Structure formats: C-alpha cells, structure tokens
Amino acid sequence: MVRFGILGFGLHAVKRLMPGFQQAKNCCVTALSRRNLGNAQDSARKYGIPFAFGSPAELCSCPEVEAVLVATPNACHFEDVLLALECGKPVLCEKPMAIDAQQCKQMLEAASKAGILLGVAHVFRFAESVIRMRERVQSGQIGKPVFARCEFSYDGVQHPRRWINDPSLAGGGPIADVGVHCIDALRFVLDDEVQSVHACGLSELSDQMESAAALTMKFHRGTLAAVLVSKRVAYRTPLEVVGEAGTLRADDALSVERSVRLELLRKGVVESEEVTNDQAYARQADAFATAMEGKAHFAVPAEEGWRNQLVLDAAYRSLKTGRSEPIPEP
C-alpha cells in the first residue's frame, strides 16, 4: 500500500482526489499540507488523515510519505515538484505540469538525474470514455481521422478555486486550465502529435487572462482539430472525431460525474455505448502506485506533460502574434 501526501489540499483534493483514493486498492493518503496549519489539521481530522502540515517542506520530508501528489496552484508546481524530488519522493503533479515548457524541461531533468518517477495527473487518460474512443479510432471503425473537436467550458466567475482568476498563480486562463485536458485527450485518442496551433481569444478589460479561446491545431498525420474553452459559460465537455468512414462522439466525454454515451455514426446508422468515468481518479492513483513498485510504466510520464506544455506555449504565442505557431520537438 503506497502512502501519498497531498501537497495543496484544496477544493480539488476534496472534490476529486479523496473520493478517488477512497476507491483505490493499492494506495492511501497519509498526509496533507495547506498554507494554514490550522486548516490543514481540520482537513486531516475530517478525512482521517494521520499527518497535517503547514508547509510543503514538512510534508515532503515526512518519512511516512512515500509519494507526493502536487495539487497546488499552477505557478507553484515547479518549486513544489523540485522540492519533492530533492527529498527523494516520486511525484504525481497536477496538470498543467508548469507554466512554461522550460520549467517542464527542468523538472524532467531533475527527475531523470535523481532516478525518481515523475508523472502528470492527466486523469482523462484513465477515463473509460476517452480510452474507448481511442480504441475505436485505433481499430479503424471510422477510417482515417479528418477532423477532431474537443471543448471544455465552465463557469469560473464565482468559482471556489479563486486562484484560477489570479494571473500570478494560474499562469493563464482556460487555455491552460482546461484546454490542456482537451489537447492531451486529442493527442491520446489520435495517437499523434500536434504540428502547429493557431489561437484567438476573448478577454474582459479588467481581465489579464483570456476568458474564452478557440484553438485550431494540425496534427502530424494531417488531422485538423479544434479546441474551444471558456470560463464564462455552463459546464460542457464534448469530444468528437470525424473520419473518412464514420464519426465518434460523446457530449460529456470529459466528465466524471455522470455516465457518458458514446455514439458511432456510420452510413446513417448510430450505434451507442454507455460508459462511466467514476473510477478514473482511483485508476490514476493506483497506476502511479503500481509504477512506483516497478510493476508497470505509468501511462502519463513527465514527457507527456512537457509535450502538452509546448502546445500551450505555442497557443499563447499565437494569441499575441495572430499567426499559426509551430510546435518544437522536445
């Protein structure tokens, strides 16, 4: 049983991570940290977690912590991951991995030099809806993919995660926050890499970050993809791949709160399949624990987070230049 410490025990830990750990079979949470020690102790009592700390350093140096899950605001990932690695702890870092590709590269190099596992928590690689869509595309059910589309929107105006509206902590708007989910899902489903991206966005006068954006991407094997994101509209996460022989789609593909209806449309006939993603967070935690034990490779190593960040960086460059920006090879 691998013992995790959650660094940055906020809303995400309460709403997503802890339910996942409660379902997990090969790991548990033995420690947590928050910026306020009193709040950390309150959370620990509520969830029956043995150790509570008021600083990342205390959690990372705790001998009862075998792995660190970094769930702090995006701008903190770089220092928190390096700290955990310096303490000799394998790290599962929330997405996006960092705020730019250079930070990702340094994190990856530090993990490689220390010989320590570093993974990125792209949870939808463990979601049944996304896995099934990848399997169906790879099996040739829709032929060669021509178009793909992924959207992720939510109402972030009064969101409890207040730091997502702080540019110094978020490192970007919905492109970074949820667009990275779309980019990763498309890379995974298509089993292909992004060659270039063109982005346009909307922002309010008082907002230093984009509030909505549209990304057009070209993949190396020719598939054209669109990513639409916003923090100003109701929650929606459709995913669709259109091939020469058919179409795969799901209205709530990137959701863990309800069952997902996958539809395959070929020659005017719709075939449907109901799946659920309610085990995604548990699968992610167990998969990382299994990789720590040397029994399997983790499905989302740091290299994947780095590749996603290269696309994010290019998207933000495109917002400024108004041009399509190439994705450099890592």
For 130-160, the pLDDT digits (tens) are 999 999 999 999 999 999 999 999 988 777 7
Identify the pLDDT of residue 205. Answer: 57
Q: How many CA atoms, within 13 angstroms, populate the side-chain half-sphere of residue 326?
A: 4
pLDDT at 221 over 60: yes
* pLDDT at residue 43 is higher than 60: yes
Q: What is the pLDDT of residue 156?
A: 82
User: Over the stretch 223-266, which tens digit does the pLDDT of each residue have?
Assistant: 999 999 999 999 999 999 999 999 999 999 999 998 999 999 99
pTM of the model: 0.96
Does residue 190 contact residue 148 with C-beta atoms inside 8 Å? yes
Q: Is the pLDDT of residue 5 over 80?
A: yes
Other CB atoms within a 10 A radius of the CB of residue 109 amount to 11
Is residue 207's pLDDT more than 90?
no
DSSP for 181-240, please give it: HHHHHHHHHHT--EEEEEEEEE--TT-SS-SEEEEEEEETTS-EEEEEEESEEEEEB-EE
Token pair recorded at residue 122: 């792209």
The tens digit of pLDDT for each residue in 152-192 reads 999 887 777 788 888 889 899 999 999 999 999 999 999 99
pLDDT band at residue 200 using 50, 70 and 90 as cut-offs: very high
Question: DSSP character for 179?
Answer: I
- Residue 283 CB partners (closer than 8 Å, separation 6+): 126
Query: What domains does the chain contain, in order, with CATH numbers?
Result: 2-123+282-298 (3.40.50.720), 127-277+309-326 (3.30.360.10)
Q: What is the predicted pLDDT for the residue at 206?
A: 61
Question: Can you read off the two tokens belonging to residue 296?
Answer: 């399997």
